[in-house]
Chains A and B, each alone.
Chain A
């Protein structure tokens, strides 16, 4: 396996424009001869499917939900970044690029990030034209707010439902194309394998979740936009159905998996309340614009928050990071929260929580203003906790939220399998070791609306693809693999439910591969996970049959892949003997507890190749060279 980044020559600012000119085109009449499969209908998938259909390609789009509008992008709350500089506060494409590279702790590819920053401005224009109801100033122009890791206001938003509104924009564009018949939509259909013919991705094998029917779909190229793998932790802010199956199956067919240990633990989520808990709910980072984070100065101070005077409170983010304060980046804020809780200063049941307090902001701006900014988030908080955050500070704690790792892609967003493209959270490309707030929406839409439509044309125009039919050996054997695996899951007939096994995996991952990692802990995880996997294959119970709607079977299949991915995450975390971004190895820290990077030995993308069951994966390295940005220790002080 060889990693060729395909980054164009030339100065950073000109690479993408030059590349657009250099890439081959498919003429409009020929586009309708090509078939493209898009898996996933979130921001990246829906925007890609709609745009490629507008260009003239025949598109098939698949999602496991009952409607493409329900993809988990819908839950993104806070906003989307763009280098518009509408606030005249010194923003620019270069600054957004710089903030993102630095925020990612210098573990992303410069050229990709620069392109992302360039395209960010087009995204806003596109979404406004579609009728996305962004927040407005009284003069009628677009409003902005601030987000973590930046000192400018460049985040566009629609109340606390920005992801929903952007997704509905992309979904509506998709429905427009479905109406004219150039996108065929397959809801309640799950991709279970990738079809590779003569080394190229030529289709997928899916299961119709209503009937259980397993079938193949063939195409000239396959686009995976299937999101992240945060549910490997069982409890996360992801939707329950979010899974790694599509990208993990592609990995096992030859796509390198990059930086799997780079996962983001979001600092502001509602703390866990019990064992039955099925998910964790995010409280948008935008709340940190006005909320102040604190814990009692002394361990064991059990007074109610409003009886603790200012001098007995520790506003630890403001104290440790005065320049960025409560808007310090996510990895840093999460670790700081863990630290104060480890010191016994956490609040709420079990001491795993910190306060996010709006008292000062309400005094300054009035309750109405705060309600206007965050009303729906406050309501959501109250519904879950039965506490009124206008009166009592919120209690928050970090939770698994986003995965920066994903399938390795080149500058054209193509994986190491030719013809298999990967967009959005499913790829690893733009966020390095830590993603800044309001950048996931930006990346999903940049990839889908503006990058893939051009790069896929270049691929199709540059390669001669022979016709493939359903009776080709590679197609038939992939279908058989899926059928066999489904039968196997149903035939174990043990005693454990998928949920109980998944919870156990989650505990292992959170304990040993979560916010703080050590060589010893990772070694422990690497003995526990294979044991759990064995338990899974020997003692799983899935009632019902495969020829019907069977949600337990769906969960079991996804968990089987998480049980393999979890191991790779630990392998990757163990090999990366440095701390960077969301990957904090406790052995590698500065005297004051910050992440200690090792640029001499680890300034590369770790891309893992699957070489067989029970065989250690093979590591390939894509060196990261920084021409424009100076490597430095990240400081938010």
Chain B
């Protein structure tokens, strides 16, 4: 089949970008969306043009590197699917497809479809861990975890950090990403010691990184390739509120934690 693409091209972080039209010929339904872009890029290189830049790596939906807006939808039309796992059988001959980078104040464009998501790393660095050093830990079976809790924790821990939740959110909020980590650790006995501080500092960091607030549109969970539920955001809000009350301070002081 043949498709018409309109792809966002932007030479660098400060350059002006624009949509450029490309014809994608002989697209096979078994191709992934990125393989279709590979074919377009091969032709661009052969004709002496610079190929379209996009992030990608594992191409099996787990590393979280890839992700573009496809006709305005983060990761495209299939539910629970990262861009690399989206196959061209989801499209029809003659389709016109708009391909753009994640758009958010927290994710500046690096080049073309590639954005800077380092803010997500900084949110994790602000408290998304259990502070244990290597060595001296108790036997694995000394910390029993009810299966239901372990399963719920794993549901949240499945986040791949792709940033689709931010891109899909009308507020540009990173709440689903942050809440997934707070839920993953908060549901486990190992995460209890730092549960309050974690919620306060991660939420504060999210604000500092220019992400918007959550107003429960729910677009994030629709876009999430791992189908992480906004229940995690409820959990985050509860942890944040509880921690704030315990500290006898209001949320605005959280950054001082």
Most chain-A CB neighbours within 10 Å: which of B62, B85, B133?
B62
- B190 to A499, Cβ gap below 8 A? no
- A158 to B154, Cβ gap below 8 A? yes
| A-chain residues with CB within 8 Å of residue B51 when the two chains form the complex | 543, 551-552
Interface assignment of B58: CB less than 8 Å from any CB of chain A:
yes
Question: Given A136-B146, A383-B81, A178 and B154 touching (CB < 8 A)?
Answer: no
Within 8 A of B (CB), among A151-188: 156, 158-159, 161, 164-165, 168, 171-173, 175-176, 178-179, 185, 187
B contact residues, range: 35 or more
- A240 to B131, Cβ gap below 8 A? no
Shortest A542–chain B CB gap in Å is: 8
Partner of B87, one of A165, A168, A384: A384
Partner of B57, one of A137, A239, A273: A239
Partner of A141, one of B42, B49, B124, B141: B141
A175 CA / B201 CA spacing, docked (Å): 14
Shortest B57–chain A CB gap in Å is: 4
A349: nearest chain-B partner, CB-CB: B30
Interface assignment of B32: CB less than 8 Å from any CB of chain A:
yes
When each residue 52-87 of chain A gets 1 if its CB lies under 8 Å from chain B and 0 otherwise, what string results? 001000000000011111101011000000001010
A188: nearest chain-B partner, CB-CB: B110
- Count A-B pairs with CB separation below 8 Å: 221
Within 8 A of B (CB), among A28-58: 47, 50-51, 54
- B154 to A159, Cβ gap below 8 A? yes
A343 CA / B185 CA spacing, docked (Å): 52
Pick out which of these stretches binds chain B: A4-12, A123-131, A311-319, A431-439.
A123-131
A481 CA / B141 CA spacing, docked (Å): 53
Interface assignment of A142: CB less than 8 Å from any CB of chain B:
yes
Interface assignment of B31: CB less than 8 Å from any CB of chain A:
yes
A282 CA / B78 CA spacing, docked (Å): 21
When each residue 290-308 of chain A gets 1 if its CB lies under 8 Å from chain B and 0 otherwise, what string results? 0000000000000000000
Interface assignment of B248: CB less than 8 Å from any CB of chain A:
no
| A-chain residues with CB within 8 Å of residue B91 when the two chains form the complex | none
When each residue 60-71 of chain B gets 1 if its CB lies under 8 Å from chain A and 0 otherwise, what string results? 111111000000
A contact residues, range: 35 or more
Shortest A480–chain B CB gap in Å is: 27
- A69 to B28, Cβ gap below 8 A? no
Interface assignment of B253: CB less than 8 Å from any CB of chain A:
no
Question: Given A54-B134, A278-B35, A67 and B141 touching (CB < 8 A)?
Answer: no
Pick out which of these stretches binds chain A: B95-103, B114-122, B231-239.
B114-122
| A-chain residues with CB within 8 Å of residue B55 when the two chains form the complex | 66
A374 CA / B111 CA spacing, docked (Å): 38
Interface assignment of B256: CB less than 8 Å from any CB of chain A:
no
- A66 to B191, Cβ gap below 8 A? no
When each residue 433-454 of chain A gets 1 if its CB lies under 8 Å from chain B and 0 otherwise, what string results? 0000000000000000110010
| B-chain residues with CB within 8 Å of residue A625 when the two chains form the complex | none
When each residue 336-376 of chain A gets 1 if its CB lies under 8 Å from chain B and 0 otherwise, what string results? 00000000000000000000000000000000000000000
A67 CA / B114 CA spacing, docked (Å): 13
| A-chain residues with CB within 8 Å of residue B135 when the two chains form the complex | 122, 126, 449-450
Interface assignment of B38: CB less than 8 Å from any CB of chain A:
yes
A452 CA / B6 CA spacing, docked (Å): 50
Interface assignment of A632: CB less than 8 Å from any CB of chain B:
no
- B124 to A175, Cβ gap below 8 A? yes
CB pairs A–B below 8 angstroms (5 shown): A69-B121, A70-B161, A136-B146, A164-B160, A281-B60
| A-B contact sample (5 more), CB < 8 A, given A69-B121, A75-B62, A541-B48 | A70-B161, A122-B137, A176-B131, A274-B31, A549-B12
> Residues of A at under 8 Å CB distance from B?
47, 50-51, 54, 65-70, 72, 74-75, 84, 86, 122, 124-131, 133-142, 156, 158-159, 161, 164-165, 168, 171-173, 175-176, 178-179, 185, 187, 210, 239-241, 273-274, 276-279, 281-282, 379-380, 383-384, 386, 449-450, 453, 495, 497, 499-500, 541, 543-544, 548-549, 551-552
